[in-house]
Amino acid sequence: MGLSEENLIGLILALVSSGFIGASFIIKKQGLKRAAAVSGVRAGVGGYYYLLEPLWWVGMIIMIVGEVANFVAYAFAPAVLVTPLGALSIIVSATLAQLVLKEKLHQFGILGCVMCIIGSVIIVVHAPKEQPIKSVLEIWDMATQPAFLAYVGSIIVLVFILVFHFAPRCGHTNVLVYTGICSLMGSLTVMSVKALGTSLKLTFEGENQLIYPETWFFMLVVAICVIMQMNYLNKALDTFNTAVVSPIYYVMFTTLTILASVIMFKDWDGQSGGTIVSEICGFIVVLSGTILLHATKEFERSCSFRGSAPSSPSLSVRLYNGNEDFFLKHDEENGSPSESMCSRRQESY
Amino acid sequence: MGLSEENLIGLILALVSSGFIGASFIIKKQGLKRAAAVSGVRAGVGGYYYLLEPLWWVGMIIMIVGEVANFVAYAFAPAVLVTPLGALSIIVSATLAQLVLKEKLHQFGILGCVMCIIGSVIIVVHAPKEQPIKSVLEIWDMATQPAFLAYVGSIIVLVFILVFHFAPRCGHTNVLVYTGICSLMGSLTVMSVKALGTSLKLTFEGENQLIYPETWFFMLVVAICVIMQMNYLNKALDTFNTAVVSPIYYVMFTTLTILASVIMFKDWDGQSGGTIVSEICGFIVVLSGTILLHATKEFERSCSFRGSAPSSPSLSVRLYNGNEDFFLKHDEENGSPSESMCSRRQESY
């Protein structure tokens, strides 16, 4: 339980972020339902009435606050701690969906929530202490060490192969192509977000880092990575069922981010074997909880176990962490799970 | 990962025990199937042909070896480590059922197995180191300390209330009555088994403990507790569905055993808060895996998802840890899950 003060701030920010992002889905869905009730037109079929609905904007603002908190969390705590806790937003959504939207959660879904919480506790208890960073140049040194450069190199090569060779051939039939691209880019996003966040934190603390070109370079990398990641996440979600994309994305994204963080920040140096094993176990537990929650949703949909929530439109804006669709697209789709591995857009190619 | 040599022996014995007990269910079931094929009479409807089937006896012997290994494990490692690992026998059974009996396991069942393994790893990594015990008199001192006497006193009072007040009134309608009695007695069984096992271990090592009346007292306690526990476990399993009894029993039995061990052996003294939290998390993970596995079996039965395993008879001998029925009664029951909370024998009262 040896969390430093810095790490504790990061942990609280990560938890607040998950709470806000989780709550934002539900508030936005409430807004969409109201807009649909007033206008009689669904966003999914071209209506934009939800833009006039204050509740939708409240949800949007809460989501942005949550994303900012997540960004700042990376400046205070190791990525190994912050990234897996993103799964907690699903629990907040699931709980609020039950309380506010009166959607019923299957008992396996409750077990999935318990798993996510327990796994997060294990991760938090064993999180590595981070050495305080004093300048962006320190991060630059870490980012340019041979091991991390080799990691970045292999990621770029893999992304190129996926984008130019596999995406045109089987991007619409194999869920791993688009999801793989955004997971690979995602690990670089988190590393650059952490570098930029730490630089900005130091700048706000009085030690101006904007004089170094390294800070601006990290900013450029963040922009490129975020755009790439969002673009391919949207493609993945447009092509495949959310219940299929989300768990695969969560596994690959979190695993690669932990790997990148371990290489770049040497998170595991000085940790005992038992601590590292526990961290990995905690991560697998969160992961299993996520799979269980998504599988339950899918199962409920196919077995029509779910409560009779009124239909509500889907949203074109899609979140970086892919959880939004977990609740928003829920009502829009009627495909059976067996269809979910196939492209819904396949017919247009 | 700081396991002492003694604890390591205990850990290996506990794992071997789970492997043997898990395998014994499958071998016995194979024996029962063969006996049924030869005789045309099922054990469930009065046939005892399985007693002539060598395979059934092989399974029985393997089970006894497993139970002995489990008994010896308590002499080497803390109960906090040995008891939760009992859940691993379910995984061995589930895996062998798939390989040998060709019973299909639902994907949630696989997730349940993963949970049990991961939770066990977490428990093992954080298990307390046990002080070596030199004489049965040391255990006697621990057993007669005020805190543990208070624990034993409350257990006896609770068991009396359950046996004489609740059992006649709602024993056949409320699953918690019989299951509660065997869980409460079970925690005393494990403590006395540990005391007796340690005494016998010391005796074999050359320091005769049989000269102390305390050793014989512990032997008497083991006998009383085991008989009480098996008697009420049989009643619980006869009255209610295994899929309902097993997870409830596992939760209550393991929780009470850990509580008793923590009070008597002060397992948690000298452990950090983080380690204790991790142990509890590991236990909850194993527990969730168990629930998921049992719920999946129940779910498959009700949805007729399961493979077409030939019908096979149930056995009257019932195991102390209640896992046997998980596979053996599987084919015998046809009740829907909604009926499982009701007594199957209710009509006779």
Q: What is the rounded distance in angstroms from the CA atom of residue B269 to the CA atom of residue B265?
A: 9
pLDDT of res. B313: 29
Q: Which residues in chain A have Cβ-Cβ distances shorter than 8 Å to B2?
A: 274
Mean pLDDT of B336-349: 32
pLDDT of res. A304: 40
Among the partner-chain residues B273, B281, B288, the one whose CB lies closest to the CB of A1 is: B273
Answer whether A260's CB lies under 8 Å from A312's CB: no
pLDDT of res. A55: 85
pLDDT above 80 for A324: no
pLDDT above 70 for A47: no
Tell me how many residue pairs between chain A and chain B have CB atoms under 8 A apart: 70
pLDDT of res. A45: 55
Among the partner-chain residues A2, A272, A285, the one whose CB lies closest to the CB of B285 is: A285
Determine the Cα angle at B224 with ends B222 and B227, to 5°.
Answer: 100
Please tell me the pTM assigned to this model: 0.73
Q: What is the rounded distance in angstroms from the CA atom of residue A337 to the CA atom of residue A342?
A: 10
Q: What is the pLDDT of residues A265-279, one digit of tens each?
A: 888 887 888 888 998
pLDDT above 80 for A345: no
Q: Which residues in chain A have Cβ-Cβ distances shorter than 8 Å to B121?
A: 277, 281
pLDDT of res. A331: 40
pLDDT above 90 for B171: no
Mean pLDDT of chain A: 78
Q: Which residues in chain B have Cβ-Cβ distances shorter than 8 Å to A108?
A: 108, 292, 295
Q: Which residues in chain B have Cβ-Cβ distances shorter than 8 Å to A274?
A: 1-2, 125-126
Mean pLDDT of B49-54: 78
Q: What is the pLDDT of residues B262-291, one digit of tens each?
A: 899 888 887 888 888 998 999 899 888 888
pLDDT of res. A44: 53
pLDDT above 70 for A111: yes
For residue A145, what is the DSSP state?
A: S
pLDDT of res. A337: 34
Q: What is the pLDDT of residues A65-80, one digit of tens each?
A: 998 898 889 888 888 8
Q: What is the rounded distance in angstroms from the CA atom of residue A187 to the CA atom of residue A259?
A: 8
Q: Which of A36-45, A159-168, A326-335, B304-313 has the lowest mean pLDDT?
A: B304-313
pLDDT of res. B157: 96
Residue B1 banded pLDDT, cuts 50, 70, 90: very low
Among the partner-chain residues A114, A274, A292, the one whose CB lies closest to the CB of B111 is: A292
Q: What is the pLDDT of residues B53-73, one digit of tens each?
A: 888 888 889 988 998 898 889
Q: Please indicate whether, in this complex, the C-beta atoms of B1 and A272 are within 8 angstroms of each other.
A: yes
Residue B304 banded pLDDT, cuts 50, 70, 90: very low
CA of B165, closest CA in chain A: separation in Å?
Answer: 32
List, as one string, the DSSP characters of B83-121: HHHTTHHHHHHHHHHHHTS-----HHHHHHHHHHHHHHH
Q: Please indicate whether, in this complex, the C-beta atoms of B281 and A118 are within 8 angstroms of each other.
A: yes
Mean pLDDT of B224-246: 82
- ipTM, interface predicted TM-score of the complex: 0.71
Q: Please indicate whether, in this complex, the C-beta atoms of B295 and A107 are within 8 angstroms of each other.
A: yes
pLDDT of res. A320: 36
Q: What is the rounded distance in angstroms from the CA atom of residue A59 to the CA atom of residue A205?
A: 31
Q: Which residues in chain A have Cβ-Cβ distances shorter than 8 Å to B107?
A: 295
Q: What is the rounded distance in angstroms from the CA atom of residue B28 to the CA atom of residue B16?
A: 18
Mean pLDDT of A154-172: 92
Mean pLDDT of B304-325: 33
pLDDT of res. B344: 33
pLDDT above 50 for B329: no
Terminal-residue alpha carbon distance, chain A: 54
Mean pLDDT of A8-33: 87
B159 membership: H or E segment, kind and range? helix B146-161
pLDDT of res. A2: 58
**Under 8 Å CB-to-CB from B197, ≥6 apart: which residues?**
B71, B72, B74, B75
Q: Which of A28-37, B8-17, B244-253, B339-348 has the lowest mean pLDDT?
A: B339-348
Q: What is the rounded distance in angstroms from the CA atom of residue A317 to the CA atom of residue B269?
A: 53
Q: Which of A166-175, B90-99, B110-119, B175-184 has the lowest mean pLDDT?
A: B90-99
Q: What is the rounded distance in angstroms from the CA atom of residue B137 to the CA atom of residue B211?
A: 11
Q: What is the pLDDT of residues B8-49, one digit of tens each?
A: 898 999 999 999 988 888 888 888 788 877 776 665 555 667
Mean pLDDT of B299-323: 37
Answer whether A62's CB lies under 8 Å from A83's CB: no
pLDDT of res. B71: 87
The letter for the amino acid at B132 is P
Q: Which of A36-40, A106-110, A272-276, B148-152 has the lowest mean pLDDT?
A: A36-40
Mean pLDDT of chain B: 78
Residue A105 banded pLDDT, cuts 50, 70, 90: confident
Residue B298 banded pLDDT, cuts 50, 70, 90: low
Could you tell me which residues of chain B have a Cβ less than 8 Å from any Cβ in chain A? 1-2, 107-108, 111, 114-115, 118-119, 121-122, 125-126, 272-274, 277-278, 281-282, 284-285, 288, 291-292, 295
pLDDT of res. B195: 92
